[in-house]
Amino acid sequence: MSLLDQNWGAGGSAEDEAQDENQQGRPITTNRDGTLILIECAPQMFETLANQMKQDSTFDEDDEDAQLTTGFQLVMRACQRFYQSKIISNDKDLSGIILYGTENSLNAFDFKHIYILHELAQPSAERIIQLETLSNKDTFRAKYDELFGSTQATGYSLNEALWTCSNLFSNSPQRLTIKRIFIFTCNDQPHASNLTLERQAKQRAKDLHDVGIQLEVFPILTESITKFDFKKFFQDVLMLSDEDLEIRNNQEPTGRLNELLKLVYSKEHKKRAYCTVPFSLGKSSDGTPLEFSVSVYNMVRPCPKPTKIKLDMKTNLETKIVTKHYLPETAEILMPSDIQYGLDVANRRILFDSDEIKAIKKFGDSGFELLGFKSLSCLLPHHYVKPGHFIYPDEKYVEGSSCLFNALLKKCLEKKMFILCQFTARRNTPPRLVALTAQAEEVNKKIKNDRLASNGFHVHYLPYADDIRTLPKNDTTRAANDEVDLFKNVIRGLKFKYRPDKFENPALQTLWRNIEATALNKGEPDEFIDLTIPSVENQNRKISGYVDELKQMIFPPGYVMGTTKKSAAAKRKAETTSSPSSAKKTKPDEDVDVEAAAKSNLLSKLTVPMLKDYCRDKKLKASGTKKQDFIDVIQSHLGIAQ
């Protein structure tokens, strides 16, 4: 689970997920996370990093990261990456940075040695550029001194630092779903000499915990500090059980930090139901509707590209669009009630009110209505119109939903059936037919707790008769067995295990990187490797043998595939398509060609269609459909010995 993941630290069970959707499925409030990064600026933070930290932080061979020699630089870089990743993954989330142990102070309470570098806010390019200078080896020292004072202070209080954080959270104008504090420190017992301060800090941590603020500690090891013992102090701050403590103390201290240092270009998706709707099985004899409740989720949707916005050139500020409806003659601005909707049929304008348009679209309340069950084999490959959903029972509206849902799930799996429903997603959307296919839980056998698929039903939209088009039939002659066998070899040579997370979207990744480069005044955007472009060279290395054979078998010599200039054969075909296809090629010159080729023993250079045509014309019957069969029969027909 990534640190960028909003569910981090919280055991996200499905039941409390639905809280923010209303029945319409339209989220009223946005879920935002808040993260405050609290950094201790003790002198040790400016020592050379312990070797293990260095190694770990430079494992990705990033030149820039290799220059990070001190803990402070490393932390600043981690913050920078955190911001950068946040902008892509969820730029509505708020973050902030507070330093403690600085000479200068900047906070609402006049606490000494606590400096709020960034208030809780959405990340911006300015912040990232500032952090860049604070980690760069040439600039970080000077910048640090300028902002926070050149000497390191002692006698600061972690309690006050945490209090400052807590205050920032409570002053946040936005409602925050998750609040957490990351503490970066090289000091495993900050108040060793002052029991009062220690007690205060622990109490504060407990208070924070009680109001749902999560704490996490990232130890920084340096030349002089090579060990970080959570037991000394932070066990109580983090509320670690003894087992957790054990795990924590034995953990690589850099594991989580490295996760922060990684720059992730991926959008984060909040686990929020698209809608929660009733699932109706019908009515029992006494008229009680048989209904349970399900939450509908979108598991696959195109990730939106950053939207292009229009900026005011003078101020570089955002603009808004105001839509006005007006009458062309009088330029009179109209209200919605003055507008009707019309369409022209055979020169007559037919009118509807907006209410009527809505009423036409409204067929019933939202939800699933059971029509019946069908064998999975009734679901054909082309039965698809738009991306589907996933449903999971919801106990919030109807208790007992899970049990009935589970029974349906088990039986559908067992009987290899799917559920056919009529599904209305919203009140004013027309219904569609959907197939609900059962999904059993799938767990990775090798890694425990790695769930490959959750149990529930997939919702697949089915087309209506109106959506399926009638297309001309294509009935090319089936290929001969040896050709098919060669293709099987080609397939084997290029077979790989498809995984949906294997390919990143080249257009999206490029755009993200380019925007970032422009915003941060970087010369070149981060490199992106496009895996969707197949390397023809590699492919050839694996299968060129079969391909050559295929070419020889099917194409005439010198044929260039895929060129728009039509080959002679294609032209011939084009000329003859207008006349009925049979009994066409009795042109003597072609026959001569075949016969000439046969005489000079070049029959194998001709294409199968040419040979076939010749055989058909001469009413020769080949013993098979392979090329050699045709050659044999032609040769015997012309009395040429092999």
Partner 1 sequence: MASNKEALALVVDIGVGMSQTAPGFDSPLQITSDILQMIVQRKMFQQSKDELALILYGGDETNNDLADENNYQNISVVFSLSPANWHLFEEIQKIKPGNNPADLIDAIVVAADHLRRETEGKRGYAAKRVLLFTNAATPFNDHSLKVILDSLRLQDITVDAIGPSWGQEEEDDDENDRPDSPTQTNGHNGDSASARPTTNGNHHNRNQKKPLTPQQKTGIRIINDIVNTTEGSLFTFREALGMLSIHQSKTVKPTATKYIMQLADIKLHICTYIQVKDNKPGIFRLKKVYARDPKSEIKVDRGRYTKDEHDEEIEKEELTDGFRYGTTFVPINKETLDDMKYQSEKCFSVIGFSDANMMRRSLYLGDTVYEVIAEPTYEEEAQTFTGLVQAMYDTNTVAIVRKCFSERSSPELGFLRPHIAHDHICMYYVKLPFAEDLREFNFDNLDVIKRNLPNDEQLKTVDNLITTMDLSHADRGREEAFQPELISNPYIQRMFQSIAQRAVTPDEPLSLSNTIMEMNDTLIQSIARKSKRTLDTVHEQFILRDTNRRQKVATGEALFGNNDISAKKARLEDNNEEFTTDSTSFEAQAAAKKKAAIKTVGTVTPVEDFRILIEQGSPSLTDVCKQMCTLIFDLINNSHGDSLFEKALQCIQCLREICIDKLEPKIFNDFEVVLKAHASDIDGRKDFWKKIVDEKISLITSEECIESNVIPVEAKKFLEEETAIQALNNAPINNEQDDEEEDLFDLI
- The residues in 5-24 that bind partner 1, with binding defined as CB under 8 A, are 12-14, 22-24
Q: Does 516 engage in binding with partner 1 (CB under 8 A)?
A: yes
CB closer to partner 1 out of 149 and 493: 493
Rounded Cα distance between 150 and 251, Å, is 34
Scanning residues 47 to 86, which ones bind partner 1 (CB under 8 A)? Answer: 83, 86
The residue assigned the tokens 């999975």 is 376
Q: Which of 263, 515, 626, 632 binds partner 1 (CB under 8 A)?
A: 515
Check if the beta carbon of residue 137 is closer than 8 Å to that of residue 13. no
Q: Does 508 engage in binding with partner 1 (CB under 8 A)?
A: yes
Rounded Cα distance between 281 and 18, Å, is 23
Q: Does 561 engage in binding with partner 1 (CB under 8 A)?
A: yes
Q: Which of 211, 339, 592, 596 binds partner 1 (CB under 8 A)?
A: 339
Check if the beta carbon of residue 393 is closer than 8 Å to that of residue 442. no
Q: Does 479 engage in binding with partner 1 (CB under 8 A)?
A: yes
Tokens of 628: 């050699």
Check if the beta carbon of residue 517 is closer than 8 Å to that of residue 528. no
Rounded Cα distance between 509 and 584, Å, is 55
CB closer to partner 1 out of 321 and 641: 321
Scanning residues 444 to 463, which ones bind partner 1 (CB under 8 A)? Answer: 451, 454-456, 458, 460, 462-463
Find the radius of gyration of the CA atoms of the chain.
Answer: 35
Q: Does 605 engage in binding with partner 1 (CB under 8 A)?
A: no
Q: Does 425 engage in binding with partner 1 (CB under 8 A)?
A: no
Stretch that binds partner 1, among 48-56, 69-77, 185-193, 275-283 (CB under 8 A): 275-283
Q: Which of 536, 583, 621, 641 binds partner 1 (CB under 8 A)?
A: 536
Q: Which of 147, 245, 263, 370 binds partner 1 (CB under 8 A)?
A: 370
Distance in Å from the first CA to the final CA of the chain: 70
Q: Does 578 engage in binding with partner 1 (CB under 8 A)?
A: no
Instruction: Tell me which DSSP letter residue 179 carries.
Output: E
Q: Which of 385, 591, 593, 637 binds partner 1 (CB under 8 A)?
A: 385
- The DSSP-derived string for 245-273 is HHHHHHS-TTHHHHHHHS-----------
Torsion 358-363-369-373 (CA) sign: negative
Scanning residues 163 to 222, which ones bind partner 1 (CB under 8 A)? Answer: none
Strand partners, 286: none
Give Cα 503 to chain centroid, integer Å: 10
C-alpha closest to that of 181 among 70, 17, 33: 33
Write down the least CB distance from residue 504 to partner 1, Å.
Answer: 5
Q: Which of 120, 294, 409, 622 binds partner 1 (CB under 8 A)?
A: 409
Q: Does 510 engage in binding with partner 1 (CB under 8 A)?
A: yes
Write down the least CB distance from residue 531 to partner 1, Å.
Answer: 8
**Count of residues touching partner 1 (by CB under 8 A):** 226
Edge-to-edge strand ranges of the sheet holding 178-185: 114-121, 94-100, 33-40, 178-185, 213-219
CB closer to partner 1 out of 136 and 266: 266
Write down the least CB distance from residue 118 to partner 1, Å.
Answer: 12
Rounded Cα distance between 50 and 224, Å, is 8
Q: Which of 160, 198, 291, 595 binds partner 1 (CB under 8 A)?
A: 291
Check if the beta carbon of residue 500 is closer than 8 Å to that of residue 455. no
Stretch that binds partner 1, among 148-156, 191-199, 237-245, 307-315 (CB under 8 A): 307-315
Q: Does 495 engage in binding with partner 1 (CB under 8 A)?
A: yes
Write down the least CB distance from residue 309 to partner 1, Å.
Answer: 5
Contact map string, positions 129 to 168, toward partner 1, x by CB under 8 A: ----------------------------------------
Write down the least CB distance from residue 640 to partner 1, Å.
Answer: 25
Q: Which of 137, 175, 206, 566 binds partner 1 (CB under 8 A)?
A: 566
Stretch that binds partner 1, among 50-58, 137-145, 347-355, 616-624 (CB under 8 A): 347-355
- Spatial neighbors of 588 by CB under 8 A, at least 6 apart, are none
Q: Is 107 helix (H, G, I), strand (E, B) or coil?
A: coil
- Give the H or E element holding residue 581: none
**Residue 249, number of CB atoms within 10 A of its CB:** 15
Q: Which of 142, 211, 407, 592 binds partner 1 (CB under 8 A)?
A: 407
Pick left, alpha or beta for residue 93 (phi over 0 → left; psi -120 to 50 → alpha; otherwise beta): beta
Q: Which of 110, 386, 524, 621 binds partner 1 (CB under 8 A)?
A: 386
Q: Which of 29, 348, 445, 527 binds partner 1 (CB under 8 A)?
A: 348
Q: Does 124 engage in binding with partner 1 (CB under 8 A)?
A: yes
Rounded Cα distance between 350 and 26, Å, is 33
- Calculate the CA dihedral of residues 618, 623, 626, 628 and round it to 10 degrees: -80
C-alpha closest to that of 527 among 544, 540, 514: 514
Write down the least CB distance from residue 302 to partner 1, Å.
Answer: 5
Q: Does 596 engage in binding with partner 1 (CB under 8 A)?
A: no
